[in-house]
Chains A and B, each alone.
Chain A
């Protein structure tokens, strides 16, 4: 396969070697979701399903426009609707497109035990490679945004690929293209950040003083960013984490325990070996046999 030559990935799950690093001038791409422009029409969801050939079950109505009710193996992006009454008592209908954030420091990748099941490309896309996925669900635990979903049918983990197939041929992701109101934009991360800056200014001018860009540093920044009218309280947007970071449990597990434990095992084994080299085995000696025999003799019949 030609991809052996691509060298375009910068990180790969469960790998202890340095990935090819020569192509260090690739443009980092980003998707900017401008919540203030979003009408919650779900064109992105439809386009995602259509392009990626995903069709889940027809569900039921569950008291919200959020349909399906959650992300899933067939739902890689989802509009989440929140009816929010602001401080002045006015209603705001907060609508957030949920899906993989394509973190610069991806928790899923850190947690993944299967070599090559999760890849981070130089352009920033974090992609799952189903063939290598073992279905353990560690990515679910690694993700600070609760995105990956394991399919019950095939025990593979699924999430947004940022349409890596489209991006690889120079196109925008399907959701970006479809978005009727331009609430989803795509371009280089630099451009997206500067455009976000303009949008934030406009929103401040419209009375959203706390408007801001959501590009959380806790995960090294993301390649899916939000313009939020209320950037001070991201959680009102259907529980968007305020300061997401890879869980300390995952960090300790993968960062500390993994090497330490392996070292500990090695040390234990080596210690045993050295002990054997130095002291040798503990063998029964002749006088042990003799003493035992004597003792038995002395006590013959006593018990009976």
Chain B
């Protein structure tokens, strides 16, 4: 696929595929997990063929998600390093929220909010994986003490709930900030979009003659 003339590549093909695998897994895990988390949502298990199937599938999807998220980490970790810009950006969070972006300091490829999503997920996913294995009855039911499993169950639920909240923010932000969805579906953004939201990244690209996703050299 070719990107339209004059646009900038925000996410490569590999990154996009990786993201959507992760996203699909996440949604399936969220739905199946919630069905086993709260009785009001148990009906969601019907989407998976009933409770037994939901219980069976959930951990396997979890494995896929963990691997897939590892891919995202490999692809995105460098651009998610924390720097001084992020602190400045955070100071202007009110302006961010009210769409008064002109008053917000310039940021690179990712802003602090995006980095927050990235890093919390990078912590939560392994936590979910580890606790998930502990409570995976079919294979590890005898591997640990029941008290350990109880603690794992609590951590798993908490981590999942947190992850879902972050996911909601992430999804909403994508909808809120127009052009973001296309950045992950088709992979490109317009120069104006880059100028508005990630000006430093934009400058770097332009000054190095790169079309993205990273400056040359």
Residues of chain A whose beta carbon lies under 8 Å from any beta carbon of chain B: 14-16, 113-115, 117, 132-138, 140-141, 146, 150, 152, 155, 247, 249-250, 252-253, 257-258, 260-262, 264-265, 268-269, 272, 275-276, 279-286, 288-293, 295-296, 299, 302-304
Contacts and interface: CB of A to CB of B under 8 A. Distances in A.
A252 B156 CA distance: 12
A113 B39 contact: yes
Contact of B153 (A253, A276, A282): A253
B176 A282 contact: yes
Interface of B: 35-40, 42, 45, 50-52, 54-56, 97-99, 101, 135, 137-138, 141, 146-147, 149-151, 153-154, 157-158, 161, 164-165, 168-169, 172, 175-179, 190-197, 202-203, 206-210, 216
A1 B86 CA distance: 64
B99 A279 contact: yes
Contacts of B99: 279-282
B206 to A, nearest CB: 5
A286 B192 CA distance: 8
Contact of B38 (A150, A249, A262): A262
A135 B154 CA distance: 18
8 contacts: A137-B137, A140-B141, A155-B137, A282-B177, A284-B178, A292-B190, A295-B195, A303-B208
Nearest to B96: A282
Contacts of A150: 137-138, 141
A303 to B, nearest CB: 3
A136 to B, nearest CB: 5
A152 B138 CA distance: 7
Given A281-B176, A282-B99, A295-B206, A268 B52 contact: no
A296 B191 contact: yes
Contacts of B39: 14-16, 113, 115
Contacts of A252: 154
Contacts of A284: 178-179, 190, 192-193, 196
> Top 7 nearest A-B pairs by Cβ distance?
A303-B209, A134-B51, A137-B137, A289-B192, A261-B161, A292-B191, A14-B39
Contacts of A247: 147, 150
A299 to B, nearest CB: 5
Given A114-B42, A141-B150, A304-B209, A268 B165 contact: yes
